[in-house]
Structure 1
Amino acid sequence: VGDVLSHHQGAAAAASAPAIPAPASAAPTAAPAASAPAPTASAAKGAGGMPVAPVQYRTPKGYEHLEDRVPLRGMRRAISNQMQASHLYTVRTLTVDEVNLTKLVEFRARVKDDAAAAGVKLSYLPFIFRAVAAALRKYPSLNTSFDEATQEIVQKRYYNIGMAVATDAGLTVPVIRDVNHKSLFELAREVTDIAGRAQAGKLQADELAGSTFSVTNIGSIGALFSFPIINVPDAAILGVHSIVKRPIVDEYDNIVVAHMMYLSLSFDHRLVDGAEAARFCREVIRLLENPDRLLLEAL
């Protein structure tokens, strides 16, 4: 997404979809340094390029005393502008898949004490970040942006992923930079640090800009799956959801209980073909379902 906070306080932060900081059972989006300017309502264009008239709300007669009006400003205005930019400047398409996290749940349980001894709170988010970075390297169209001004596709060879954090002031999206160069424990420390400072309102402007891909966590509040809003000018955003135990049929035709999670990938169809989006999801799934490969394969 574009620099959400640049309109409010000279900073950059992007809003993609409702998201919560990553809990221990699900995972959690990011903001690029430069984006298409967030349009105002008067600048919006409809079919045929005709201006779209602003919608004026009228209070029903007799209910005036039961309404309050609050100016749209600050963080909420920035988020509103970003949502409108995403709607106007992307061709948003959705693909949904599911992943069996049973092996990952077991692996995390085995190393959780080691992580704690090293002073690390190990959620599922670092695993997801590593899987996403590896998949982006294999399917680079999802790690691009479209420069509206020059009509050029920007292909990126770095992997900066954001984490949406819901705060009292609104949604902030700090960026985890160079994910492909960091270990699980390094990512876990950074996630904990950034989430804490986001909640306290202590993030720096440069920590809220420069994403190449977004990840948003809807699962911590119980959503089955979602249609995340793309963080312009990113090409795509991955929504991760609740990890739920449910019955599945294994490779031997036995009904077993597994830890399952839905993935929702929103992508800009101008930049990403549907087949590549589906293959990207399958690569993320392959790595998350096999934690040993996630740790051993180079990013």
Structure 2
Amino acid sequence: LKEDILSFIKDQETPKAPSPADKAAPAAPSAVQKTPPQKPSPLPMPAKREATIPVGKDHTEVIKGIRKAMVKTMTEAAHIPTFGYNDEIDMTRLVELRRDIKGVTESAGVRFSYMPIIVKAVSLALTEFPILNSIVDANCENITYKAAHNIGIAMDTPEGLVVPSVKNVQTLSIYDIAVELNRMQTLGAAGKLTNAELTGGTFSLSNIGVIGGTYARPVILPPEVAIGALGKLQRLPRFDDKGNVVSKEIMCVSWSADHRIIEGATMARFSNLWKSYLENPGLMLLYMR
């Protein structure tokens, strides 16, 4: 019995030579070992550096020139109870009109933007709403309805904000207005606008669109009673009369008016009339003198 047990143990310890069948048979696939995901190595931290702070000194300067005049005007304007009214204008037809006539004016050396047409449309609307072309005294005891439509155009110049006005717009053609705007822009850039050009306005516009603005809350320039801010021209989707989505050239406008003498309904009706001239430029021909 002992010899049998020792013989069995010896057989188990001695490796057997593989049989031919074993050599032909493919090895059974072993279980796939899943490799645990490796954690990303942490990014090396940058060397700590002390923040570089620009070195400078405070300085004080005297408020003077145009800025001093602006302080006085804006301080007076802060006492005016103001309300706002906003709307958007479909400028698609006006864009086409400007495209058609731009070459003619520029061949004569006159830069032609949308502003001359916008200014003329304001004048035509003021004819129907003369109270918006009025001025009031300091105590708001008297209203003076101005016969001349002196439309002020806010300009950003090297010396600061100035608002020269195009005088007697009601008597000027759109081309005349373009010529005058070109002249004032040239003088403004050179700091050569005169006191006569900077005073006497009866209604003002500010073109915030040239610097990318859309809506604003323009500040009335006393003794005037209203001002408008024009936003940038944007191509936006809108519905046409048949409910189809179409591409339109849209400009937003923001009005501010002196609520002591101007009612909201008056401002809205004025804006609607002005809007109708811009959306249908042909209507302006019926009323232009």
Kindly, what percent of the aligned residue pairs are identical? 35
Deviation, 1:168, is 1.1
Q: Which residue matches 1:18?
A: none
Of 227, 231, 236 in structure 2, the residue corresponding to residue 237 of structure 1 is 227
C-alpha separation in 1, matches of 2:109 and 2:57:
51
Q: Name the amino acid aligned to 2:166.
A: I
C-alpha separation in 2, matches of 1:158 and 1:235:
15
- Runs (5+) with no aligned partner, structure 2: 1-55
Whether the 8 Å CA contact 1:142–1:271 is kept in 2: the answer is: no
Could you tell me the TM-score, scaled by structure 1's length? 0.76
Q: Which residue matches 1:137?
A: 127
Deviation, 1:187, is 0.7
Of 164, 188, 195 in structure 2, the residue corresponding to residue 174 of structure 1 is 164
C-alpha separation in 2, matches of 1:139 and 1:221:
30
Deviation, 1:288, is 0.4
Q: Which residue matches 1:68?
A: 59
Are 1:104 and 2:94 an aligned pair?
A: yes
- Runs (5+) with no aligned partner, structure 1: 1-64
C-alpha separation in 2, matches of 1:75 and 1:184:
30
Question: What is the aligned-residue RMSD (CA, Å)?
Answer: 1.6
Whether the 8 Å CA contact 1:248–1:256 is kept in 2: the answer is: yes
Deviation, 1:296, is 3.4
C-alpha separation in 2, matches of 1:141 and 1:220:
29
C-alpha separation in 2, matches of 1:75 and 1:118:
33
Q: Which residue matches 2:152?
A: 162
C-alpha separation in 2, matches of 1:235 and 1:138:
16
Q: Which residue matches 1:285?
A: 275
C-alpha separation in 1, matches of 2:83 and 2:174:
31
Of 69, 79, 99 in structure 2, the residue corresponding to residue 78 of structure 1 is 69
Whether the 8 Å CA contact 1:98–1:261 is kept in 2: the answer is: yes
Deviation, 1:149, is 4.9
**Aligned with 1:251: secondary structure?**
coil
**Aligned with 2:232: secondary structure?**
coil
**Aligned with 1:216: secondary structure?**
strand
Could you tell me the TM-score, scaled by structure 2's length? 0.78
Deviation, 1:69, is 2.1
Larger radius of gyration: 2
Q: Name the amino acid aligned to 1:242.
A: K
Whether the 8 Å CA contact 1:165–1:199 is kept in 2: the answer is: no
Q: Which residue matches 2:255?
A: 265
Deviation, 1:150, is 7.4
C-alpha separation in 2, matches of 1:131 and 1:150:
28
Deviation, 1:72, is 2.0
C-alpha separation in 2, matches of 1:73 and 1:201:
15
Which fold has the larger relative contact order, with Cα–Cα distance below 8 Å and residues 6 or more apart in sequence?
Answer: 1
Q: Name the amino acid aligned to 2:60.
A: R
Instruction: Label 1:170 to 1:150 Cα distance change in 2 as closer, same or farther (>3 A).
Output: closer
Post-superposition Cα deviations, 1:77-123, rounded to whole Å, max 9, x if no partner, equal: 211111111011x1111000010000000111011111222332111
Whether the 8 Å CA contact 2:212–2:232 is kept in 1: the answer is: yes
Q: Name the amino acid aligned to 1:246.
A: L
Q: Name the amino acid aligned to 1:163.
A: I
Following superposition of structure 1 onto structure 2, how do residues 45-64 of structure 1 map, counting pairs within 5 Å? none
C-alpha separation in 2, matches of 1:136 and 1:193:
24
Whether the 8 Å CA contact 2:138–2:223 is kept in 1: the answer is: no
Whether the 8 Å CA contact 1:139–1:280 is kept in 2: the answer is: yes
Instruction: Label 1:66 to 1:204 Cα distance change in 2 as closer, same or farther (>3 A).
Output: closer
Whether the 8 Å CA contact 2:214–2:230 is kept in 1: the answer is: no
**Aligned with 1:241: secondary structure?**
strand
